[in-house]
Amino acid sequence: MILNELKQKWNKKYQCVPMQFKKLKTIPAAASGFNTNIDAVLKVDGKTLEKLITQYHISTAELNDIRLSGFRRPEDVILGIVKCFSKGIAEEWVSDDVGLYQWLSQNLGYHHLQMGGQGGIIANVLALLGVQKVIAHTNSHPAMQAQQFLDLDNLQALDEHGALKKAVEIARAGDTPLIHWIIEFDKGDRFTAERQEFVCPKSNRFIATYDPMNMNLVIDENFISYLNNHKVAYLLLSGFHPLLSSNNGIEHIKKAVPIIKQWQQHNPEMIMHLEIASTQDKAIRQAIVEHIAPLMTSAGLNERETIDLLEICGKADLAALIEKETTACHLFDAILYLKQKLGVARLQLHMFGLYLTIQDERYPFSAQKNLKGMMTAAVVSSSKALNGALQKYDDLMITQGNGVSDVGLKELSALAEKLNKPELLQDGVCKLGDVYVSAVPTILVDKPKTLVGMGDTISSVSLLAGC
């Protein structure tokens, strides 16, 4: 089947999305945690990077051999931006140095503030989609944080007394705002240093984080109590990635395990999802794999996070291959392996142009339903990218009816051929041994206004809309 025919076939499949929007409104309750914060968004261009590199006397030798995964000085922040800019990748680096927080505030600034953290971003989008009650975990909830929540009656959080209230109306006295810098850059932008040109191959972002509460995985006692006494259909968790092994991070993860197990015991039918974020500390990565993932029903990750997990799971060769050739065929081998390693019933990859899920018989919803969930996520996430934000219900379906991407169709075609499963290309679903595979070519936006929270949006909407 030629590309245009395939595109028409898939565009017709996407007509199911409005019905999935209606189904989302039947979900009684969902909760998200642990990390909710404020993002200070800053768009940087090549000229700005040139000035910073010159100002801080950074050589091209340093720019061409960036091995850092965290920062201790202002120059390291610049190197982190350059690394992600020049490779078109997304990473988050963390620091516990208040001096760097002050440097970021005084020297970089921001263009605007918005909701940050997987927990907060997921809560906003699920509430906007109409889930009947969404409970967001916040370990700091001053008025500035409250202002980042959408003004929706079904979007709730717990105040300092443990009362469930509309999240936008809570202002906990004495809480300190938790601010992260989201430094974005555009595909095709470039800068020159010592006559060497650096070109950005893909729009992406670098995140610089100073956040003592989330870096210590402070879990609100009132949130713990609420989930021990109330049922929710879905619990979506993240926020383990900012931890540092040098700062008792592994101990913090271990302390979270009995809390999560208590919630499972209270509500054994609850679907728990882990959003795997960019985790620079390898020991923390290992602890997430060993202690948190086995408790989960589902997990979501992108290309970079897949590579990171492979590196600490004994698959360095496959990680290197994907780093060199980031294709759906190589990534499929990776997530098939990682699904078994993590022990989850469902593992979803969101890559450029294609979403891919592997699930087994333990997962309560079929691969066909999951396929519809992924198409819904493709519409919502591309609408977010095009519009820059999701503020009202009509924003969610701006790209409904837009064609699926050629790059996604080509990746899906190659994967179907590799697996010898033509039905995967035609129908989006196939059975492979004892697992089911579902995949969708996505809707891409040429010049996205934002990429912040895209993975969180994709994973959460795919999960809940696939019911």
Say what the pTM is: 0.87
* Structure token pair of residue 309: 């997990």
* Structure token pair of residue 377: 């996520």
Instruction: Read off the pLDDT of residues 351-382 as tens digits, 9 standing for 90 and up.
Output: 999 999 999 999 999 999 999 999 999 999 99
1 pLDDT above the threshold of 80: no
Q: pLDDT at position 151, please? A: 98
pLDDT mean over 440-449:
93
Angle CA(180)–CA(185)–CA(190) in degrees, nearest 5? 140
393 Cα distance to chain centroid: 21
Instruction: Read off the pLDDT of residues 275-303 as tens digits, 9 standing for 90 and up.
Output: 999 888 999 999 999 999 999 999 999 99
Cα–Cα distance, 299 to 288 (Å, whole number): 12
| SS3 sequence of the chain | CCHHHHHHHHHHHHHHHHHHHHHHCCCCCEEEECCCEEEEEEECCHHHHHHHHHHCCCCHHHHCCCCCCCCCCHHHHHHHHHHHHHHCCCEEEECCCHHHHHHHHHHCCCCEEEEECHHHHHHHHHHHCCCCCEEECCCCCCHHHHCCCCCCCCEEEECCCCCEEEHHHCCCCCCCCCEEEEEEECCCCEEEECCEEEECCCCEEEEEECCHHHHCCCCCHHHHHHHHHCCCCEEEECCCCCCCHHHCHHHHHHHHHHHHHHHHHHCCCCEEEEECCCCCCHHHHHHHHHHHHHHCCEEEEEHHHHHHHHHHCCCHHHHHHHHHCCCHHHHHHHHHHHHHHHCCCEEEEEECCEEEEEECCCCCCCHHHHHHHHHHHHHHHHHHHHHCCCCCHHHHHCCCCCCCCHHHHHHHHHHHHHHCCHHHHHHCEEEECCEEEEEEECCCCCCCCCCCCHHHHHHHHHHHHCC
Give the least confident one: 63-72, 292-301, 338-347, 439-448: 63-72
Cα–Cα distance, 155 to 134 (Å, whole number): 5
Q: Mention every residue, 6+ apart, whose C-beta is less than 8 A from residue 340.
A: none
CB-CB contact of 18 with 40 (8 Å): no
Sorting pLDDT into bands at 50, 70 and 90, what band is 95? confident
pLDDT mean over 13-41:
96
231 pLDDT above the threshold of 70: yes
Mean pLDDT of the chain: 95
Q: pLDDT at position 72, please? A: 86
pLDDT mean over 116-125:
96
Cα–Cα distance, 440 to 372 (Å, whole number): 9
345 pLDDT above the threshold of 90: yes
Residue 31 phi, psi (nearest 5): -130, 150
**Other beta carbons less than 10 A from residue 268's beta carbon:** 7
* Structure token pair of residue 276: 């795997």
* Structure token pair of residue 443: 């809707």
pLDDT mean over 434-458:
92
pLDDT mean over 57-86:
92
Q: pLDDT at position 209, please? A: 84
55 pLDDT above the threshold of 70: yes
Work out the end-to-end distance of the chain between its first and last CA atoms, rounded to an integer number of angstroms: 31
Instruction: Read off the pLDDT of residues 196-215 as tens digits, 9 standing for 90 and up.
Output: 999 999 999 999 988 889 98
Percent residues over pLDDT 70 in the chain = 100
Q: Which amino acid is at 69?
A: S
Q: Which amino acid is at 251?
A: E
CB crowding 412-431: b at 16 or more within 10 Å, else e? bbebbeebebeebbebbbbe
Residue 431 phi, psi (nearest 5): -105, 135
Task: Report CA-CA distances (Å) from 186 to 51, 98, 190.
Answer: 17, 29, 9
The domains of the chain, with CATH numbers, are 3-39+114-176+213-465 (3.40.1190.20)
440: β partners:
355
344 pLDDT above the threshold of 90: yes
Omega before residue 71 within 30° of 0, cis: no
197: β partners:
192
* Count of all residues that appear for the chain in the document: 467
